[in-house]
Amino acid sequence: MNTANQLLDFLLLANANVRYVVTGMVLLGASAGVVGCFTLLRRRALVGDAIAHSVLPGVCLAFMLTGVKNPFVLLAGAVATGWLSLWVIDVISTHSRIKPDTAIGLVLSVFFGVGILLLTVIQQSGNAAQSGLDKFLFGKAASMLSGDVYVFGTLAALIIAVVALLFKHFTLLAFDENFARAIGLPVRVLETLLSILTVLAVATGIQAVGVVLMSAMLITPAAAARFWTNRLRVMLPLAALFGAVGGVAGAFISYLMPAMPTGPWVVVSLTLLALVSMLVAPKRGLLAKWLQNRHNRLKMLEENVLKMFYYLHEQQTTPQIPLTAGIEQLLTIRNMPLPQLKTGLRRLHAKKWITRQQGISGWQLTPAGMEKARHIVRLHRLWELYLSQHLKLAADHVHDDAEAMEHLLTPEIEQQLDSLLGHPHTDPHNSNIPR
Q: Which of 385, 306, 393 is nearest to 345 (CA)?
A: 306
What are the backbone dihedrals phi and psi of residue 179, each rounded to the nearest 5 degrees, phi first? Answer: -65, -40
CA 241 to chain centre: 16
Of 289 and 68, the structure prediction assigns the larger pLDDT to 289
Of 31 and 13, the structure prediction assigns the larger pLDDT to 31
pLDDT of residue 319: 65
Domains recognised in the chain with CATH numbers:
3-281 (1.10.3470.10), 289-420 (1.10.10.10)
pLDDT of residue 340: 92
Mean pLDDT computed over every residue of the chain: 84
pLDDT at 49 over 60: yes
Distance CA 81, CA 64 (A): 14
DSSP for 98-157? --HHHHHHHHHHHHHHHHHHHHHHHHTTT-GGGTTGGGGTT--GGG--HHHHHHHHHHHH
The kind and range of the H/E element at 294 are helix 286-315
Q: What mean pLDDT is predicted for residues 101-108?
A: 86
Asked if residue 131 lies in contact with residue 3, where contact means CB atoms within 8 angstroms, the answer is no
Q: What mean pLDDT is predicted for residues 278-296?
A: 92
137 to 60, 205, 236, 328, 338: CA distances (angstroms): 11, 11, 28, 72, 62
pLDDT of residue 3: 65
Which amino acid, 138? F
Q: Which of 339, 333, 325 is nearest to 304 (CA)?
A: 333
DSSP 13: T
Distance CA 330, CA 226 (A): 46
Q: What is the total residue count of the chain?
A: 435
pLDDT of residue 353: 93
Q: Is the whole model's pTM more than 0.85, yes or no?
A: no
pLDDT at 18 over 80: no
Of 224 and 138, the structure prediction assigns the larger pLDDT to 224
Q: Which of 25-29, 261-265, 339-343, 422-426 has the lowest mean pLDDT?
A: 261-265
Of 64 and 6, the structure prediction assigns the larger pLDDT to 64
392's torsion region: left (phi>0), alpha (psi -120 to 50) or beta?
left
pLDDT of residue 218: 85
Please write the tens of the pLDDT for every residue from 363-410.
888 999 999 999 999 999 899 989 988 888 888 888 888 888 888 888
Please write the tens of the pLDDT for every residue from 196-255.
888 888 877 777 777 777 888 888 999 999 999 989 999 999 999 999 999 888 888 877
Contacts of 233 (CB under 8 A, 6+ apart): 167
Q: Given CA atoms 70, 76, 78, 79 in this order, what sign does their dihedral have? A: positive
pLDDT of residue 6: 65
Neighbours of 175 (CB within 10 A): 12
Distance CA 80, CA 220 (A): 25
pLDDT of residue 2: 61
Q: Which of 251, 172, 264 is nearest to 13 (CA)?
A: 251
Please write the tens of the pLDDT for every residue from 108-122.
889 889 888 888 888
Please write the tens of the pLDDT for every residue from 71-89.
778 888 888 888 898 888 8
CA 336 to chain centre: 38
Q: How far apart are the first and last CA of the chain?
A: 77
The kind and range of the H/E element at 373 are helix 367-390
Contacts of 113 (CB under 8 A, 6+ apart): none
pLDDT at 90 over 90: no
